[in-house]
Amino acid sequence: MQSYLDFEKPVAELEGKIAELKSLAQTDQAVSIGDEVSRLQQRAEEALKDVYKKLTPWQKTQVARHPQRPHFSNYLKSIVTEWTPLAGDRKFAEDPAIQAGFGRIDGVPVAILGQEKGNDTESRLKHNFGMARPEGYRKAVRIMEMADRFGLPVISFVDTAGAYPGIGAEERGQAEAIARSTEKCLEIGVPNLSIIIGEGGSGGAIAIAATNRVLMLEHSVYSVISPEAGASILFRDAGKAQDMAAAQKITAQDLMALKVIDGIIEEPVGGAHRHPEKVMADTKAEIMKFLSEFGDDLGPLEIRELRREKFLAIGTNLT
């Protein structure tokens, strides 16, 4: 069953009428609804295009958080073969918020990191809504070290509101774990790519996204702090989240203009949740393009230098 966002009300009404007509036709075979359904479907498609061509930053944030948006587990099943998950940080525990392991994409062996939010109540609680604890980031460091040792590219899928801010996480060194993971991203001598598939929230995201290339889905967001939290701090009013989202420049289009990210993966009209197979196929194509660009011709020193130059250039080459 399709879930609609507040600003999708015109589309919801039209698609609701289409569903009613189809239900009526099933109960009364004498009713001819073909022409009316075609007319309503055309209107619904036009309404959807009209809504999505002028999304505000806050509306894009809502799309990035859509409950039916494909998560890391969906990308994993769609584009990765021979998946071998690895668990635990070898220091404290396993953290299901970050999935990690090795697999193949079109036959190419890679290391994979992914933040998983879950898609129902049980899985969301299991994965802590994608908010990793220190052991999750230390597991990421362990996987990156192994990838570096065996010469495997690292692919990261980012989708988190931020690192988990609980007392236990702070006691176990959350800030240090995030810093070590960010450091490891910058340090390894193999190419790494990060793709923001939903939310990219604060240090919880950049801990696995300090990479040679950073890509964003068209309606994903990447920010230092969530609009609600930022509004609470700056405006003393979480209700001003819409204003905060606009001021933060958190959309893929804004960040591409600011040269913070390296590319945008287009989404079908209506967002990734309406046509997940298309988005995942396009994401796979971008990954293969990256792997071909960072082939065997580049050595560890060159890869590190390219990564270093990329991040040092942020904020210095704006026009």
The average pLDDT across 17-38 equals 70
- Domain total in the chain: 2
The average pLDDT across 5-14 equals 85
For the stretch 33-78, pLDDT in tens is 767 778 888 888 888 889 898 899 999 999 999 999 999 999 999 9
Written as one letter, the residue type at 206 is I
The pLDDT assigned to 43 comes to 86
Q: Are residues 35 and 99 in the same domain?
A: no
In a domain, 191, yes or no: yes
The pLDDT assigned to 38 comes to 80
Q: Are residues 73 and 48 in the same domain?
A: no
Q: Where are the beta strands (DSSP E) in the chain?
A: 81-85, 98-105, 108-115, 154-160, 192-201, 213-217, 221-223, 263-265
Q: Are residues 111 and 14 in the same domain?
A: no
The pLDDT assigned to 28 comes to 61
In a domain, 69, yes or no: yes
Query: Residue 27 belongs to what domain range?
Result: 6-54
The average pLDDT across 8-21 equals 82
The answer to pTM > 0.95 is: no
Q: How confident is the model at residue 246 (pLDDT cuts 50, 70, 90)?
A: very high
Q: How confident is the model at residue 126 (pLDDT cuts 50, 70, 90)?
A: very high
Rounded Cα distance between 23 and 45, Å, is 20
- Is the pLDDT confidence value at 90 over 80? yes
Sign of CA pseudo-dihedral 125, 129, 135, 139: positive
In a domain, 179, yes or no: yes
Q: How confident is the model at residue 306 (pLDDT cuts 50, 70, 90)?
A: very high
Q: Are residues 191 and 279 in the same domain?
A: yes
Q: Where are the beta strands (DSSP E) in 202-319?
A: 213-217, 221-223, 263-265
- Is the pLDDT confidence value at 2 over 80? no
Q: Are residues 240 and 175 in the same domain?
A: yes
For the stretch 185-219, pLDDT in tens is 999 999 999 999 999 988 899 999 999 999 999 99
Residues above pLDDT 70, as percent of the chain? 96
The pLDDT assigned to 14 comes to 82
Q: Are residues 47 and 66 in the same domain?
A: no
Q: How confident is the model at residue 32 (pLDDT cuts 50, 70, 90)?
A: low
Q: Are residues 225 and 257 in the same domain?
A: yes
- Partnered with residue 101 across adjacent β-strands are 85, 112
- Bridge-based pairing state of the strands 192-201 and 213-217: parallel
Q: Are residues 86 and 28 in the same domain?
A: no
The pLDDT assigned to 112 comes to 97
In a domain, 318, yes or no: no
Look up tokens 């967002």; give the residue. Answer: 271
SS3 category, 211: coil
Q: Measuring CA to CA, how many Å separate 319 from each of 121, 131, 257, 297? A: 46, 36, 9, 32
Q: Are residues 23 and 101 in the same domain?
A: no
Last residue of a domain, one of 54, 72, 89: 54
In a domain, 1, yes or no: no
Mention every residue, 6+ apart, whose C-beta is less than 8 A from residue 265: 195, 215, 216, 217, 218, 279, 282, 283, 286
In a domain, 152, yes or no: yes
Q: Are residues 49 and 182 in the same domain?
A: no
In a domain, 269, yes or no: yes
Q: Are residues 162 and 18 in the same domain?
A: no
Domain CATH number, residue 296: 3.90.226.10
Last residue of a domain, one of 37, 54, 71: 54
In a domain, 319, yes or no: no
Q: How confident is the model at residue 31 (pLDDT cuts 50, 70, 90)?
A: low
- Is the pLDDT confidence value at 140 over 80? yes
Q: Are residues 47 and 189 in the same domain?
A: no
Lowest mean pLDDT among 20-29, 65-74, 168-177, 264-273: 20-29
